[in-house]
Structure 1
Amino acid sequence: MEQQTQKRGGLKIVREFKAPKTLVFDAFASPEAFGEWWGPAGSQLSVQHFDFRAGGSTHYKMEGNGHEMWGLFQYKNIRRADLLEFVNSFADAEGNIITSPFPMDFPLEVFNQITLEEKNGITTLTIQGHPVNATPAQEETYFSIMENMQQGFSGTFDKLDAYLEKVQG
């Protein structure tokens, strides 16, 4: 497992999974699968709305450690088993984009690109992200918490790994 950060290029994490890339991709493509593993360790996710297509969106509630927060994915480009591009935002219960629930000036929108490549039954997932439509202060906040974001994604991808092991039996 390799994790990398590119300071001004945004977040980049590379992770390998012992599963075919179609199975990894499908973990993002259904509300049942997505709800089972998305989010940092210790969190529970419930999907409120799921429209997995370019131009569609997913609205979800995440609960953990006595806190509740909402998120929104706005899908930009989807190429089955190869590519997923979406803008991620914090949201309210109605699905409106809101400021971060944390005491920081975080960007309202973060663009994420996930690519999947398979070799010998091992899928390499690469996620890259960067703020969009952000103020300089919001960009500075984003880049200042790269290590925290990597830890969050590490826990999320650990949950994806466990999910993939379970569905492969």
Structure 2
Amino acid sequence: MTTQIKITHTYNAPRDLVFKAFTESEHLKNWWGPKGWTFEVSKSDFRPGGVFHYSQKPADGNVMWVKFVYSEIIAPEKIVYTSFFSDKEGNTVRAPFDANWPMETLNTITFNEDEGKTTLTMIVAPVSPTEEEIKTFEDSKDMAREGHTGTLNELEEYLTKI
């Protein structure tokens, strides 16, 4: 069995708009990340081989840096990228919440439109994980699914405003 998390969310919005909200910094800054956290984009280069580097910070905690490296983009259908926690300079670091979280995850997001609604499917899987990282990923699936779902709910709210 493959170790992965799959999340599906349907938006009452056309695919082009959902895709733009997911890929353009001026939109992402308004909804990405946990509710109530500050979010800042350090670098946004949306193309295969490009990097998205950002920080997010809870009201009562430390700043966390995250970096994406895009490997495949088929607008407005699909985005594939690896994701990892980083420092301010973009160097890979261990996850701040669990030292055994996989160093890198592969994220595949597809956008399917049907009668003006868009169904987004996100699949997250660890890249070359150790046994301990697989165990941590498996044990953390509910937490990770909850976090991603919360973020996708933020997008739903944002889409009603644009």
TM range, normalised to the smaller chain?
over 0.9
Match of 1:33 among 19, 23, 27: 27
Q: CA deviation at 1:42?
A: 2.2
Q: What's the TM-score, normalizing by structure 1?
A: 0.91
Contact 1:8–1:143 (CA<8 Å) still a contact in 2?
no
Contact 1:58–1:74 (CA<8 Å) still a contact in 2?
yes
The runs of at least 4 consecutive aligned structure 1 residues that moved more than 6 Å come to none
What percent identity do the matched residue pairs reach?
Answer: 35
Q: Which residue of 2 aligns with 1:4?
A: none
Q: CA deviation at 1:20?
A: 0.4
Q: Which residue of 2 aligns with 1:3?
A: none
Question: What is the distance in 2 between the residues matched to 1:66 and 1:91?
Answer: 20
Question: What is the distance in 2 between the residues matched to 1:148 and 1:42?
Answer: 17
Contact 1:10–1:129 (CA<8 Å) still a contact in 2?
yes
Q: Which residue of 1 aligns with 2:85?
A: 90
Corresponding position: 1:145 with 2:140? yes
Q: Which residue of 1 aligns with 2:59?
A: 65
Contact 1:37–1:156 (CA<8 Å) still a contact in 2?
yes
Point out the structure with the larger strand share.
1
Q: What's the TM-score, normalizing by structure 2?
A: 0.95
Q: How many residues align?
A: 161
Q: CA RMSD in A?
A: 1.2
Q: Which residue of 1 aligns with 2:44?
A: 50
Contact 1:110–1:129 (CA<8 Å) still a contact in 2?
yes
Question: What is the distance in 1 between the residues matched to 2:98 and 2:79?
Answer: 30
Gaps of 5+ in 2: none
Question: What is the distance in 1 between the residues matched to 2:103 and 2:59?
Answer: 23
Alignment of 1:1-169 (within 5 A): 8-67=2-61, 68-167=63-162
Q: CA deviation at 1:146?
A: 0.5
Secondary structure of the structure 1 residue equivalent to 2:89: coil
CA-to-aligned-CA distance 1:98-154 (integer Å, 9 cap, x gap): 001113411110001000100111100000010002211111101111100111011
**AA aligned opposite 2:105:** V
